[in-house]
């Protein structure tokens, strides 16, 4: 009878998850979020998905995560009073997953943009020395490079053709894609347009600065790779140890999930794990 009840619960949860996922993805197939017209202050996440649609996905993930956790808890025989807490914890974690996914996409987009900035400045420098105006040189370089850089340069030139000052269009680009090297370039262009002088000579110095910063960032990433790996291992090791011991000797580990003292110990371990992870992350994070 016990297994029959568990089977019914699992079937119900699976049906609800299937309906939610089918409804969600059928809605997503109607189209992607398009970014047209001038920049209106939206967050970078809205390059990929609108806020209402993201909230809908998060709610679906939270419900599915909570229901899956309910099934796992019923199978594991965890004490009843801990079920709501663990369901809320699983739902909260699942609720955050879509946001983390799109933030990761934003980070990859920014990294791609940052990686091509040096090529853009080199192209602009060559164009300026050959006598091409800065907006025309920027258009040619963006078309040749493609990808994220072409999208952002096209948006900048679109705003410029609408009547926005070219320096202001570059400032808006820096607000969309915040980066220290881009900020240096935009500031140099703005000062050069106000005071005159050879922009090509200024770009030579900016190219050297960006190149030296890139070398330094690569060295720092290499030196801190071991620390990043250690932080992940330290955070995952207790969870893996608990899972292995639970399956090897269930009776030994049951008091940890069926008593108040056991759950208190779990909370303490989670807090200490989080503190340790944040400390290591703070140590290996170097601002340039």
| Structure-token match 């910063």, residue found | 213
In this structure, are 153 and 200 located in the same domain? yes
List pLDDT tens digits, range 139-198: 888 888 888 888 888 988 898 888 888 888 888 888 888 888 888 888 888 888 887 777
Residue that the structure tokens 């258009």 belong to: 139
Q: What is the mean pLDDT of the chain?
A: 78
Taking the C-alpha atoms of residue 50 and residue 159, their distance in angstroms, rounded to an integer, is 22
**Measured at the alpha carbon of residue 94, what is the angle toward residues 89 and 262, in degrees to the nearest 5?**
25
Res. 14: pLDDT tops 70: no
Final residue of a structural domain among 219, 253, 272: 219
Give the per-residue pLDDT at 26.
57
Distance between CA atoms of residues 192 and 119, nearest Å: 20
Tell me which residue of 212, 211, 200, 190 sits closest to 124, measured CA to CA.
Answer: 200
Q: How many domains does the chain have?
A: 2
CATH number at residue 168: 1.20.81
**Final residue in a domain of this structure, among 190, 219, 248:** 219
Answer yes or no: is 201 within a domain.
Answer: yes
**Banded model confidence at residue 83, pLDDT cuts 50, 70, 90:** confident
Are the beta carbons of 154 and 38 closer than 8 angstroms? Answer: no
- pLDDT for the residue 133: 84
- Is the pTM higher than 0.85? The answer reads no
Alpha carbons 83 and 96: distance in angstroms, whole number = 20
Domain span including residue 243: 224-288
C-beta of residue 181 within 8 angstroms of C-beta of residue 197: no
**Sequence-distant contacts of 211-215: CB under 8 A, at least 24 apart:** 211/118, 213/180, 213/181, 213/288, 214/118
Q: Tell me whether residue 178 is in a domain.
A: yes
Rounded CA-CA distance 115/136 in Å is: 22
For the ranges 2-11, 69-78, 80-89, the maximum mean pLDDT occurs at 80-89
- Please check whether residues 235 and 282 belong to one and the same domain: yes
SS3 call for 273? helix
1 or 130: which carries more pLDDT confidence?
130
Q: How far is CA 251 from CA 148, 174, 246, 254, in A?
A: 55, 59, 8, 5
Please indicate, yes or no, whether residues 238 and 202 belong to a single structural domain of this protein.
Answer: no
């Amino acid at each position: 009878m016990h297994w029959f009840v568990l089977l019914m619960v699992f079937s119900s949860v699976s049906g609800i998850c299937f309906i939610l996922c089918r409804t969600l993805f059928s809605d997503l197939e109607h189209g992607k979020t398009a970014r047209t017209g001038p920049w209106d202050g939206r967050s970078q996440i809205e390059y990929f998905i609108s806020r209402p649609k993201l909230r809908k996905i998060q709610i679906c993930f939270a419900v599915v995560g909570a229901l899956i956790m309910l099934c796992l808890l019923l199978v594991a025989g965890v004490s009843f009073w801990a079920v709501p807490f663990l369901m809320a914890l699983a739902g909260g974690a699942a609720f955050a997953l879509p946001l983390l996914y799109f933030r990761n996409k934003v980070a990859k987009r920014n990294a791609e943009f940052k990686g091509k900035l040096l090529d853009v400045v080199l192209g602009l420098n060559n164009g300026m020395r050959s006598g091409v105006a800065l907006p025309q040189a920027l258009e040619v370089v963006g078309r040749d490079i493609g990808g994220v850089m072409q999208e952002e340069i096209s948006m900048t030139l679109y705003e410029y053709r609408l009547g926005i000052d070219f320096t202001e269009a570059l400032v808006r680009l820096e607000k969309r894609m915040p980066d220290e090297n881009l900020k240096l370039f935009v500031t140099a262009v703005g000062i050069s347009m106000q005071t005159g002088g050879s922009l090509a000579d200024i770009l030579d110095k900016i190219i050297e600065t960006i190149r030296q910063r890139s070398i330094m960032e690569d060295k720092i990433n290499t030196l801190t790779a071991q620390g990043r790996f250690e932080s992940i291992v330290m955070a995952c090791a207790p969870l893996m140890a608990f899972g292995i011991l639970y399956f090897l000797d269930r009776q030994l580990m049951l008091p940890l999930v069926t008593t108040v003292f056991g759950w208190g110990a779990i909370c303490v371990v989670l807090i200490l794990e989080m503190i340790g992870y944040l400390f290591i992350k703070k140590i290996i994070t170097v601002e340039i």
